[in-house]
């Protein structure tokens, strides 16, 4: 999808006087292991990075290239990470909202408007708009989805080196047959979410 084809929301906000517009998205919400991670990014006006789209629609190589391009263009980038033990304490919805707040708060300079993927507000004090399916409809959120996916995949690849029996480098902690079989065989690791179905049965 061409970069400017799905930037209409940002165009309208800039016409209304907003200049530091952040897109926010998360990844890892449905995973059985590892953190939930959110990314926030402020891009300059008329930023045109060809190929930016929902991270799930992109190959690994394409995401890696776009991650570099987005970081090179960005006015600010922020990340929020919430680890598995906090997810088990709070629940995944509240942990996701916390990751988004942390990502927004990490932006320097801070945004004057925030575009958030989904239909739940993370109690953001900055003026914001919720956009369901924003990762495929809104340029800034698409860019954030790429940053989030690349960052979390790297975390899971690092866990794969420490815990190779689980295959985290391949499935990134999601409940694939390979992963479920590994949990049944090797038990629950320190990074598994103990309250999630597929894991709690083995705690």
- Per-residue pLDDT of 99-153, as tens digits, reads 999 999 999 999 999 999 999 999 899 999 999 999 989 999 999 999 999 999 9
pLDDT number for residue 2: 44
Look at residue 185 and tell me whether its pLDDT is greater than 60. yes
pLDDT number for residue 148: 98
Tell me, yes or no, whether 79 lies in a domain: yes
Tell me, yes or no, whether 200 lies in a domain: no
- Does residue 182 contact residue 168 with C-beta atoms inside 8 Å? no
Tell me, yes or no, whether 195 lies in a domain: no
pLDDT tens, residue by residue, 40-90: 999 999 888 999 998 999 999 999 999 999 999 999 999 999 999 999 999
Query: Domain residues for 92?
Result: 3-158
pLDDT number for residue 1: 41
* 7: confidence class by pLDDT, cuts 50, 70, 90: confident
Look at residue 24 and tell me whether its pLDDT is greater than 60. yes
Which CATH number covers residue 102? 3.30.420.10
Q: At residue 79, what are phi and psi to the nearest 5 degrees? A: -130, 150
Tell me, yes or no, whether 190 lies in a domain: no
Tell me, yes or no, whether 201 lies in a domain: no
Tell me, yes or no, whether 127 lies in a domain: yes
pTM: 0.95
Tell me, yes or no, whether 172 lies in a domain: no
Give the total number of structural domains in the chain.
Answer: 1
pLDDT > 90: percent of the chain: 92
Strands 36-42 and 76-82: antiparallel
Tell me, yes or no, whether 71 lies in a domain: yes
pLDDT number for residue 121: 92
Report which of 5, 23, 26 is spatially closest to residue 13, judged by C-alpha positions. Answer: 23
Q: Residue with structure tokens 């698409």?
A: 142
pLDDT number for residue 4: 44
């Amino acid at each position: 999808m061409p970069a400017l084809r799905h930037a209409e929301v940002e165009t309208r906000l800039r016409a209304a006087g907003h200049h530091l517009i952040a897109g926010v998205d998360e990844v890892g919400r449905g995973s059985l292991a590892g953190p939930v991670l959110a990314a926030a990014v402020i891009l300059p006006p008329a930023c045109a990075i060809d190929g930016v789209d929902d991270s799930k629609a992109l190959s690994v190589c394409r995401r890696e290239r776009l991650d570099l391009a987005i970081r090179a263009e960005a006015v600010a980038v922020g990340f929020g990470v919430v680890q598995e033990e906090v997810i088990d304490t709070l629940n995944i919805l509240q942990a996701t909202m916390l990751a988004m707040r942390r990502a927004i708060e990490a932006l320097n300079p801070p945004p004057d408007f925030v575009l958030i993927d989904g239909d739940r507000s993370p109690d953001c004090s900055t003026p914001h708009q919720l956009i369901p399916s924003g990762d495929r409809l809104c340029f800034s959120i698409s860019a954030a989805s790429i940053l989030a996916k690349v960052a979390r995949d790297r975390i899971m690849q690092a866990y794969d080196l420490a815990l190779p029996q689980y295959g985290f480098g391949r499935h990134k902690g999601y409940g694939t047959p390979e992963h479920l079989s590994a949990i049944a065989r090797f038990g629950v690791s320190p990074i598994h979410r103990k309250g999630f179905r597929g894991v709690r049965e083995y705690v």
